[in-house]
């Protein structure tokens, strides 16, 4: 990235730079992968580009369905221009199928289809290990108002309907995903961050039996190998469909 742009923030998977327009930012997707609150780290050449391209396509689909997002346009293969937002420190996880932490913390069996989507909210705080949080605690901490939280939950449910059906069309089961929202300069709540195999669980539906084939970050979390191949396959299916 050009020295001219100021690095405003560097996260685990992305760098955020200033833009000439103070209401915009430039987001660069990195090849780094982390899991288990960054206890596990690796680099996958080409991951940043794939996540940037996949996210851009998905944001475009959501924008067409009137979901307000921070996405404006792709700048190049691993960089996008987005509206500047003040990120709300909450991770909104929606689950359609039980997996991951839900199965570690409850007696629900992995792979169980949930009768209705489950929304789990986590406090975005690495020092506290992103704990599961309640509506009451969110209100107590004054993070956002109950009305704003309702809006975010409603938007997450709508996004799920759109994404579940989109991914089904390309033979992928949307198991769960994590969203982040933020406020723009006019205090509108927008969907931020990224939507990619780094923060969605996607299982291949092109399987004859019931074996789970993860085409997402579980390939890294669970040492399955073939992460770039899996992300490339998702990118290919999205582009073939659109």
**Site residues, ligand UDP (CB under 6 A):** 91, 93, 100-102, 130, 176-178, 199-201, 217
- Residue 22 CB, shortest distance to ligand UDP, in Å, is 29
- In the complex with ligand UDP, the residue whose CB is nearer, 37 or 165, is 37
Tokens 């007696």, residue?
107
Strand partners, 97: 113
- In the complex with ligand UDP, the residue whose CB is nearer, 40 or 73, is 40
CA distances from 63 to 9, 57, 138, 184, 193 (A): 25, 10, 28, 16, 15
Tokens of 78: 């691993």
- In the complex with ligand UDP, the residue whose CB is nearer, 216 or 233, is 216
Q: Positive or negative, the Cα torsion across 109, 113, 114, 120?
A: positive
- In the complex with ligand UDP, the residue whose CB is nearer, 37 or 145, is 37
- In the complex with ligand UDP, the residue whose CB is nearer, 201 or 219, is 201
- Residue 187 CB, shortest distance to ligand UDP, in Å, is 26
- Residue 83 CB, shortest distance to ligand UDP, in Å, is 21
- Residue 202 CB, shortest distance to ligand UDP, in Å, is 9
CA distances from 140 to 23, 133, 144, 232 (A): 30, 11, 10, 43
- Residue 44 CB, shortest distance to ligand UDP, in Å, is 15
Reduced to 3 DSSP states, what percent helix, strand and coil does the chain have, rounded to the nearest 5? Answer: 30, 30, 35
- Residue 18 CB, shortest distance to ligand UDP, in Å, is 26
- In the complex with ligand UDP, the residue whose CB is nearer, 19 or 193, is 193
Task: Classify each residue of 185-205 as buried b or exposed e, where b means 16 or more C-beta atoms within 10 Å of its C-beta.
Answer: eeeebbbbbbbbbbbbbbbbe
Q: Distance of alpha carbon 181 from its chain centroid, rounded?
A: 10
Closest-approach residue to ligand UDP (CB)? 100
**Residues in the chain, total:** 242
> With contact defined as beta carbons under 8 Å apart, do 53 and 110 qualify?
no
């Amino acid at each position: 990235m050009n020295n001219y742009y100021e690095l405003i923030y560097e996260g685990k998977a992305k760098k955020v730079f200033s833009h000439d327009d103070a209401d915009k930012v430039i987001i660069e997707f990195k090849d780094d992968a982390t899991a288990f609150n960054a206890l596990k780290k690796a680099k996958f050449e080409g991951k940043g580009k794939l996540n940037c391209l996949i996210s851009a396509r998905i944001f475009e689909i959501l924008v067409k369905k009137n979901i307000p997002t921070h996405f404006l346009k792709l700048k190049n293969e691993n960089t996008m221009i987005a509206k500047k937002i003040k990120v709300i420190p909450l991770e909104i996880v929606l689950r359609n199928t039980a997996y991951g932490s839900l199965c570690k913390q409850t007696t629900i069996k992995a792979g169980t289809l949930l009768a209705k989507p489950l929304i789990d909210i986590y406090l975005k705080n690495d020092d506290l290990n992103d704990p599961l949080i309640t509506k009451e605690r969110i209100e107590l901490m004054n993070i956002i108002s109950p009305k704003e939280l309702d809006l975010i939950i409603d938007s997450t449910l709508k996004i799920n309907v759109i994404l579940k059906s989109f991914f089904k069309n390309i033979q992928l089961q949307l198991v769960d995903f994590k969203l982040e929202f933020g406020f723009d300069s006019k205090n509108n709540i927008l969907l931020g961050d990224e939507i990619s195999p780094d923060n969605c669980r996607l299982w291949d539906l092109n399987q004859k039996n019931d074996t789970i084939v993860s085409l997402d970050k579980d390939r890294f979390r669970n040492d399955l190998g073939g992460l770039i191949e899996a992300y490339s396959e998702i990118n290919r299916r999205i582009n073939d469909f659109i």
